[in-house]
Structure formats: structure tokens, C-alpha cells
């Protein structure tokens, strides 16, 4: 391991006395009130006032008719994907997924929980390349995918790091191809998009919408997720599936496969205490983003971008992208990596190792799904067409796609909303020294 603390480039910088996190929970004390009430009244299982209240509050905040509180965002994505599968292809047999034999177009730059539900339901995810302007699904690549696989009827999008993509365009393409949309807003609660001239919350944009209260999210219940919809029928189905699919009989009677996916009233209590602080968390995250942008402006790097004409992020994670000409050598294997310092240049590997040596947590950009070993045999579509096998031993030229390029040159910065400006200045200084 490289010894940054003895490297003259970092002279005078002291390690952080306690670890600076990428994005840790920020508790306010009000959580305890609602958790305590649940315990005192003995409503500690998967029913109770906290659940009812956060469902009401989030439906109101996001502008949807119905919200169903679930154990995690992944559970919400699973049931959203299953609902879409049933709507498109009918009810499946108990031992079959609803998407068996069907392709689903999915965001490529996301966390795998967005796309795994397609596999849970026996479908085949086809990954759609990313555009540089928002680091999200490229509408031109989606259009190309529909050209190549016109029978596809389902699309799954995520909003990476809390920045919405070009959702109005993606929605238009889905409508033109008669496709349904699952929206994964796990990272983007509170971010908005301009749709039909109106600012609309992420988590309300698709036919089936999902958010997460995982410990690292903009607000948290320690865990938890939610399904959001305007359809009462879909909300009721998710309630039923998430509580073991009981039929209306005095005994346990089942006509459909069930899941134990409902949220606990204790978790809902923590979320109830966090909700009044959502906007404050977003403001803190935005301030962090803007301080990085200013503090790093003299380096050959840019920040994770957004298009103010179409969206306003929640700034969940701040990220940077190193200019191609300022990239020092950095190679990654399946589980390890090797980087080399070159004066005036740096790499994600070097910056993350330096931050870690001083006690600050960054993270590599989420590795694109089409590069993941588990999905390497799945189709990957760019704006030009098939994104696989694009180099030629006999003809020079690069085969690097947008997702692979952002993964290679980018990294997530410490973005904890409890980070002080002085701590952030030190992070910024460490990054500067990496480029010395």
C-alpha cells in the first residue's frame, strides 16, 4: 500500500481525527419520538400509525395518489417490475417470472438493485448507454434499442447520484413505443424534472415508481423503501404481495406468490422523524456540491453534470471526472487495481487511496451494468447500435463507451451532509496535491 502520509507532496496535511464518510445517516432526535411512541403503544410490527403517516406524507410530497411502505427500495423495484410484467404479459405460473422470454431496456449506470428485479422475474435486461450531459440513460441509445428490438415494452430508468436524466425525452420515446416505465428514484428523492412545462418530483414520473430509505440515502429509516403510483389497483396489489399474498379467507389462503416485503412501524418512525429534514438535507448537499465545484475549478476535472433546463438534482453525491489528458495510468482487474503517479496528472485510484489514507471515504463510480461479470453476456446498446465487440484487431479506433469512460475517469467524493467547510477544504487540498 502506498504511504501517502510520508509523501512530500502531502506534507503538512494531518489525517482526519475521525472518519469522513461518503454519505452517512444524519439523525435529528425526532426519530426517537415516533419510534418510542410505536414501542409504548406496542405497534411494532408491519402495521401502525407511523407507516400510515409516512405513506400520506410522501404521496403528498411527491404528488402521487398512493404510497406503499416496503422493507427496502429493492423490494419496491421487484414488485414494480412484477406489476409491469403482469400488466404486459399476464399472470405467470408460481414457478415462472412474469418477464420470461422478454427483454427490458435498463439504465446501464446504476446500482444493480435497479436491474436485478428483471432477472428475479426471468426477464433479460438490455443495457442502454449513458449520455455525458447527465450521466443517465441516453435517449438516442434508447431510440436505437427500440429500432433493434421493437417488441420490447418495458424500460427501467434510474437517476444516478440524485441527478435526473432527460426524463421528458425518455417518456416520449416510451410512449411512442407503447412501453411502460419503472422509475428507480432511490438516490434522487427531492430532485425534480421539467415535464410538459411543469416541475415534477422524481419518484412520480413512471408508471411504477420506487424510492429508498437505505442508510446512505438523502433521508433514512436505517432501511426501508416505498412504492408510489396513481393507481389504487396497483397500490393494493403491492400491499397484498408484500404481506404474503393472503386471500380474503379466515385461514391462510393463497392464489398468488407472496413476499414479506412490508415496512416495520419502527422503521417508519425513524423516517417520520427524518421527513421534516428532507429539504434541509438537500440544501446541505447542494452547498457541498457547489463548494467542490469552486474549490476544484483550477484542476483538470469537472463535476457530475446536470442540465438546469430540464432538472434540478438533490445533489446526493458529488463526483468528479478527470479530463482525458490529465489521467495518469490506472488499471482495474476484477477485484484489484494498480495506479501510478505522473506529475501534473492523477487517477481515481490515486485520489481515492489518498483520501482513504487521510481518513476520508470516497468511492469509485458505480461500475456500469454491461461491464458486470453477471451481465456480460447481455446486450448493450449505444446511440450507434450494438455496443459489444466494437474494436477490430485490424482497424485502429477506440471501443470505449460512455459508461465505461465515466467509470474509468470518475469518482464519488465524500458527500456527507455533516462535513464542515473546513473538512471539505482539506479534501479539496488533498485532491490538489494528487495532481502535483
Ligand X SMILES: Cc1ncc(COP(=O)(O)O)c(C=O)c1O
In the beta sheet, which residues pair with residue 126?
105
Closest CB 214 distance from ligand X, rounded Å? 4
User: Could you tell me which stretch among 110-118, 281-289, 382-390, 425-433 binds ligand X (CB under 6 A)?
Assistant: 110-118
Q: Which is nearer to ligand X, 113 or 145 (CB)?
A: 113
Nearest residue (CB) to ligand X, 350 versus 416? 416
Min dist. Cβ of residue 27 to ligand X (A): 18
Per CB under 6 A, the list member of 23, 81, 98, 114 interacting with ligand X is: 114
Cell of 172: 416520449
- Select the span of 68-76, 162-170, 324-332, 402-410 touching ligand X (CB under 6 A): 68-76
CA-nearest of 350, 282, 342 to 317 is: 282
For ligand X, the closer of residues 113 and 411 by Cβ is 113
Rank residues 89 and 111 by Cβ distance to ligand X and give the closer one.
111
Distance CA 213, CA 45 (A): 18
Closest approach, Cβ 134 to ligand X, in A, equals: 14
Of the two residues 110 and 242, which places its CB atom closer to ligand X in the complex?
A: 110
Q: Which residues, numbered 172-191, are part of the site for ligand X (CB under 6 A)?
A: 184, 186-187
Contact range with ligand X by CB under 6 A, out of 14-22, 71-79, 292-300, 339-347: 71-79
Q: What DSSP string describes 14-52?
A: PPPSSPBPSS-----SHHHHHHHHHHHTT--SS-SHHHH
Question: Which C-beta is closer to ligand X: that of 46 or that of 74?
Answer: 74
Shortest Cβ 197–ligand X spacing (Å) = 28
DSSP 8-state code for residue 150: T
> How crowded is the C-beta side of 325, counted as CA atoms within 13 Å?
2
Asked if residue 111 binds ligand X (CB under 6 A), the reply is yes
Query: Quick check: 158 binds ligand X (CB under 6 A)?
Result: yes
Q: Is 41 exposed, middle or buried (0-12, 13-18, 19+ CB in 10 A)?
A: exposed
Instruction: Give residues with Cβ within 8 angstroms of 151, minimum separation 6.
Output: 103
Binding of ligand X at residue 72 (CB under 6 A)?
A: yes
Report which secondary-structure segment, H or E, holds 352: helix 348-357
Q: How far apart are CA 271 and CA 275, in angstroms?
A: 6
Q: Binding residue for ligand X (CB under 6 A) from 74, 152, 209, 284?
A: 74
Residue closer to ligand X, measured from CB, 225 or 313: 225
DSSP track, 377-407: TS-EEETTEE-SS--BTTB------HHHHHH
For 369, the grid coordinates are 451494468
How would you classify the pairing of strands 130-131 and 124-128?
unpaired
CB closer to ligand X, 209 vs 212: 212
- How far, in Å, CA of 409 to CA of 322, rounded? 5
- Tell me, residue by residue from 223 to 262, as one string, x for binding to ligand X by CB under 6 A and - for no binding: --x-------------------------------------
Q: Tell me the C-alpha to C-alpha distance, in Å, between residue 334 and each of 279, 321, 355.
A: 39, 22, 22
Question: Binder to ligand X among 50, 98, 130, 212 (CB under 6 A)?
Answer: 212
What secondary structure does DSSP assign to 279-300, as a single string?
A: HHHHHHHHHHHHHHHHHTTTSS
CB of 73 to ligand X, least distance (A): 3
* Residues found near ligand X in the complex (CB under 6 A): 72-74, 110-111, 113-114, 158, 184, 186-187, 212, 214, 225
Amino acid at each position: 500500500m502506498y504511504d501517502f502520509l510520508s509523501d512530500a507532496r502531502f506534507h503538512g496535511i494531518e489525517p482526519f481525527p475521525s472518519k469522513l464518510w461518503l454519505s452517512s445517516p444524519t439523525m435529528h432526535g425526532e426519530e426517537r419520538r415516533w419510534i418510542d411512541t410505536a414501542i409504548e403503544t406496542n405497534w411494532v410490527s408491519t402495521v401502525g400509525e407511523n407507516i400510515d403517516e409516512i405513506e400520506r406524507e410522501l404521496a403528498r410530497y411527491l404528488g402521487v395518489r398512493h404510497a406503499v411502505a416496503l422493507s427496502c427500495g429493492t423490494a419496491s423495484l421487484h414488485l414494480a417490475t412484477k406489476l409491469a410484467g403482469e400488466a404486459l404479459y399476464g399472470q405467470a405460473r408460481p414457478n415462472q417470472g412474469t418477464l420470461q422470454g422478454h427483454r427490458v431496456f435498463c439504465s446501464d449506470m446504476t446500482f444493480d438493485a435497479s436491474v436485478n428485479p428483471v432477472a428475479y422475474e426471468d426477464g433479460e435486461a438490455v443495457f442502454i448507454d449513458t449520455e455525458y450531459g447527465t450521466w443517465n440513460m441516453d435517449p438516442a441509445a434508447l431510440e436505437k434499442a427500440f429500432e433493434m428490438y421493437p417488441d420490447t415494452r418495458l424500460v427501467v430508468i434510474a437517476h444516478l447520484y440524485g441527478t435526473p436524466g432527460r426524463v421528458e425525452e425518455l417518456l416520449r420515446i416510451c410512449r411512442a413505443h407503447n412501453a411502460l416505465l419503472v422509475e428507480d428514484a432511490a438516490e434522487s428523492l427531492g430532485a425534480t424534472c421539467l415535464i410538459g412545462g411543469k416541475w415534477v418530483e422524481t419518484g412520480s414520473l413512471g408508471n411504477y415508481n420506487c424510492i429508498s430509505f437505505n442508510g446512505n440515502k438523502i433521508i433514512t429509516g436505517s432501511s426501508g423503501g416505498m412504492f408510489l403510483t396513481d393507481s389504487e389497483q396497483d397500490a393494493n396489489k403491492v400491499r397484498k404481495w408484500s404481506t404474503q399474498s393472503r386471500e380474503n379467507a379466515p385461514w391462510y389462503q393463497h392464489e398468488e406468490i407472496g413476499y414479506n416485503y412490508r415496512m416495520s412501524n419502527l422503521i417508519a418512525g425513524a423516517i417520520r422523524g427524518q421527513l421534516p429534514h428532507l429539504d434541509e438535507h438537500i440544501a446541505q448537499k447542494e452547498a457541498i456540491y457547489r463548494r467542490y465545484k469552486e474549490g476544484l475549478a483550477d484542476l483538470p476535472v469537472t463535476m457530475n453534470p446536470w442540465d438546469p433546463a430540464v432538472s434540478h438534482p438533490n445533489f446526493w453525491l458529488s463526483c468528479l471526472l478527470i479530463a482525458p489528458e490529465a489521467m495518469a495510468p490506472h488499471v482495474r482487474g476484477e477485484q484489484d487495481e494498480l495506479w501510478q503517479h505522473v506529475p501534473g496528472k492523477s487517477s481515481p485510484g490515486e485520489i481515492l487511496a489518498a483520501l482513504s489514507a487521510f481518513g476520508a471515504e470516497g468511492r469509485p463510480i458505480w461500475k456500469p451494468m454491461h461491464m458486470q461479470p453477471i451481465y456480460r453476456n447481455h446486450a448493450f446498446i449505444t446511440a450507434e447500435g450494438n455496443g459489444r465487440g466494437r474494436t477490430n484487431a485490424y482497424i485502429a479506433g477506440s471501443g470505449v463507451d460512455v459508461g465505461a469512460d465515466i467509470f474509468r475517469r470518475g469518482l464519488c467524493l465524500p458527500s456527507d451532509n455533516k462535513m464542515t467547510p473546513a473538512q471539505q477544504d482539506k479534501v479539496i487540498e488533498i485532491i490538489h496535491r494528487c495532481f502535483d
